[in-house]
Amino acid sequence: MPTKSVYFLVVPGFADWEGAHALAEVRRHGHYEVKVVGLNQLPVQSMGGMTVQPTCALTDIDPEDVALFMLPGGDRWEQQPPERELLDLLVTLDACAVPIAAICAATTVVARAGLLHGRRHTSNGLDYLNRSKCPPTPRRQCTWTPLQCGIAASLRPAVWPMSSLHRRSWLNSAY
């Protein structure tokens, strides 16, 4: 049983369906505990109308306890800037070599945190990031993978929170 947890961010209007498959697999095959993190600990309503109660707030996270930090998409990422606390946490997690998975529109958040500079990623494309007013990056690259529709756009694609055998099995069976 892993000692670290997978953290899943919920914010008002998050795309509730986007992390479902990945979370199920990191629990089933990786045996990770999933912690739901919010901007604070108040209940959050998803795009689909589900009300979710965060188990902790951004300020409660200890990077040493994080195996993976996952951000689902949602309209809010295209309609308002991310909170400074979230950007600061992402930079801290990256400095601690914690894998960060951003799905769909949430890739704009990691771009705004400056974490896509010179890295291969699976965002919706360079034009999308530019339209989303992300910081310009001369070396920005978009790499499409079998997971391009949004299972995970990891900043450290070689690092997954499950064994390589489980990962290989999951990737081969998912699509």
Tens-place pLDDT, residues 115-167: 877 777 666 666 666 666 665 544 434 433 333 333 334 433 333 344 444 44
How would residue 84 be classed by pLDDT, with cut points 50, 70 and 90? very high
The total number of structural domains in the chain stands at: 1
Q: Is the pLDDT of residue 91 over 60?
A: yes
At 117 the pLDDT is 74
Give the domain CATH number at 48: 3.40.50.880
Strand duo 44-45 + 51-52: pairing: antiparallel
Query: Could you tell me the residue range of the domain that residue 36 belongs to?
Result: 5-174
In 11-78, DSSP assigns E strands to 33-38, 44-45, 51-52, 56-57, 66-71
* Residues 45 and 10: beta-carbon distance below 8 Å: no
